[in-house]
A and B are shown apart, each in its own frame.
Chain A
Amino acid sequence: DTAVSQTPKYLVTQMGNDKSIKCEQNLGHDTMYWYKQDSKKFLKIMFSYNNKELIINETVPNRFSPKSPDKAHLNLHINSLELGDSAVYFCASSQDLNYNEQFFGPGTRLTVL
């Protein structure tokens, strides 16, 4: 009965590789988000989608491409991984755009070697 799930939980890869992180929510929410949390725990929004439509793109490099096949899924694909991409990536969802509670997934720890 997980509300927001992410796969994988851990991802270790070499520089230059391409990887994807998947996110699914079973709450029936309209809005989904990707956040990046760096080693100092700083949490910063990357993208938000509402009903599969991109709402926020927070000056993230073009190597990051979100994809929302339906409103229950928001995947994150990263091309040409760099050392600085190492972080924990959190997916979240909320009922709509009006600041209802955001429910976070368990996170994906990405390590780029």
Chain B
Amino acid sequence: GENVEQHPSTLSVQEGDSAVIKCTYSDSASNYFPWYKQELGKGPQLIIDIRSNVGEKKDQRIAVTLNKTAKHFSLHITETQPEDSAVYFCAGGNTGTASKLTFGTGTRLQVTL
């Protein structure tokens, strides 16, 4: 089955700086890679996703890149703000396996003033 590794486990940046979180996956058949943000006491919420036919996707301050050959994808947050502080999860899955997503172990991002 799919195995998704995520690094770093914790990340502290100053407000205004950029943050990068990296994930690798093992199953070359995976073709869907979402990123979720989980705030304290809440459920995860999708912030951006990318499919394997696309190398990069951007939504305002958030961007995701995918390297299919190397089987890794990254989340980039620019101009970080205190409200970006949360736990971020990457995930991978294959539309051929009945909607199963395998999640990474999470990155706790702390944006300091």
Contacts and interface: CB of A to CB of B under 8 A. Distances in A.
Contact of B98 (A48, A92, A102): A48
Interface stretch (B57-65, B67-75, B76-84, B101-109): B101-109
A94 interface: yes
Contacts of A104: 36, 43-45
Interface range on chain B (Cβ under 8 Å from partner):
20 to 34
Given A41-B105, A42-B105, A42-B106, A99 B99 contact: yes
Given A40-B105, A41-B87, A107 B42 contact: yes
Given A43-B44, A90-B43, A90-B44, A56 B106 contact: no
Contacts of A92: 43
Interface of B: 32, 34, 36, 38, 41-46, 49, 87, 89, 93, 95, 98-103, 105-106, 108
B54 to A, nearest CB: 14
Contacts of A56: 98-100
Interface of A: 4, 31, 33, 40-45, 48, 50, 55-56, 58, 90, 92, 94, 96-99, 101-107
Nearest to A40: B105
A48 B99 CA distance: 8
B89 A43 contact: yes
Contacts of A105: 43
